[in-house]
Amino acid sequence: MLDNISGKPTVKAEELPSLVLAYIGDAVYELAIRDFLVAQGLCKVNQLHRTAVKYVRAGAQARALFALEGKLSETEMAVVRRGRNAKSGTVPKGADVLEYRHATALEALIGYLYLQGQHQRLQEIIKLAIEEIT
């Protein structure tokens, strides 16, 4: 997806299915959370994992999305709506369908911003999500 030389996206994020955006967003968000936790001084892998789960589980992501909604642009809200309405077919243990759909919407937004190269906005969104969950 990234051109190794220029670092510019080679796909158009707005043309990708919402679940593909969420797939990318899940990885970006997970990495951001891990980076955040290590920066907080957590060094034991077991502790890192347990703490990371608190941030990346569907319920926490859904709460973060609700806190962000008034701070999103129309374009970002359109991506969120697409992500929320995407049907994945499965819901993980410990999450209900609505939580999972909202978590998918947040991940789709993160994936969209990442693929669009909007890294400053991406950092703002992730920072706001972390603050809401913390």
State pTM to two decimals: 0.87
Catalytic residue among 3, 26, 35, 96: 26
CB 25 within 8 A of CB 94: no
Q: At what angle do helices 18-39 and 74-85 cross, to 10 degrees?
A: 110
User: Tell me, what's the pLDDT at 4?
Assistant: 46
User: Tell me, what's the pLDDT at 1?
Assistant: 45
* Sign of the C-alpha dihedral computed for residues 16, 20, 26 and 27 taken in this order: negative
Domains of the chain plus CATH, in order, are 15-132 (1.10.1520.10)
Nearest to 2 by CA among 113, 89, 111, 115: 115
71 vs 17: CA distance, rounded Å: 24
Residues of the chain with pLDDT below 70 are: 1-10, 91-92
| Known catalytic membership, residue 26 | yes
User: Tell me, what's the pLDDT at 46?
Assistant: 87
User: Tell me, what's the pLDDT at 6?
Assistant: 53
| The pair of three-digit structure tokens given for residue 20, joined into one six-digit string | 């593909």
User: Tell me, what's the pLDDT at 7?
Assistant: 61
Tens digit of each residue's pLDDT (9 = 90 or more) over 52-88: 999 999 999 999 999 998 899 999 999 999 999 887 7
Nearest to 13 by CA among 65, 79, 74, 102: 79
